[in-house]
Amino acid sequence: MVPVIAFGGVAVLMYAIAVMLIVRSGGRDSVKIGGQVTGMRDYISSGRTMYVAEFTATLPDGRVLRSTGTMGTSWKPTVGKLVTLIYRPHDQEQPLVEAGFVRFLAPLILASIGTMFGVVAISGLVAILQGDDPSSSAKTKPAKPKKEHVERH
């Protein structure tokens, strides 16, 4: 029973993170706008230099916003490159996010992993409800009766 609960818990966790990423990356009131990579910041992670892009974008009302990306990469961003950004008016801390991996692919991957764990958990639960506990040790086959050895003279 414990493995079923563990697999179910992992499935729920994967779905929760996927939903959080979708909500955090924009939500319903977000707007796609054109922007530009205007710089970068670097940091060291596990002994490697990682880079995070800095963006500038002009909003439809004429305001200019600057923001730092949410995901580091091992390659330097191309300064001056035009990018599609997502403007999130509700998020004062991180109003601009680059459209791409974080918005679509990461939640899809997490939801897929969650689905796999969920299928295993549901299969285990069905097996338990049918009286066959998959977490118990391997079933032993009944012992075959020993044949008696008869000596002939």
Query: For residue range 90-110, what is the model confidence (pLDDT) as tens digits?
Result: 766 666 767 666 567 777 888
pLDDT, position 51: 94
Distance CA 25, CA 68 (A): 14
Contact 147, 141 (CB under 8 A): no
Dmax of the chain from CA atoms? Answer: 111
Contact 99, 32 (CB under 8 A): yes
Total length of the chain: 153
Contact 51, 82 (CB under 8 A): no
Q: Is the pLDDT of residue 16 over 70?
A: yes
pLDDT, position 8: 84
Concatenated DSSP letters of 29-56: T-EEEEEEEEEEEEEEETTEEEEEEEEE
**pTM across the whole model:** 0.51
pLDDT (average), residues 65-86: 86
- Tell me the β-bridge partners of 98: 85
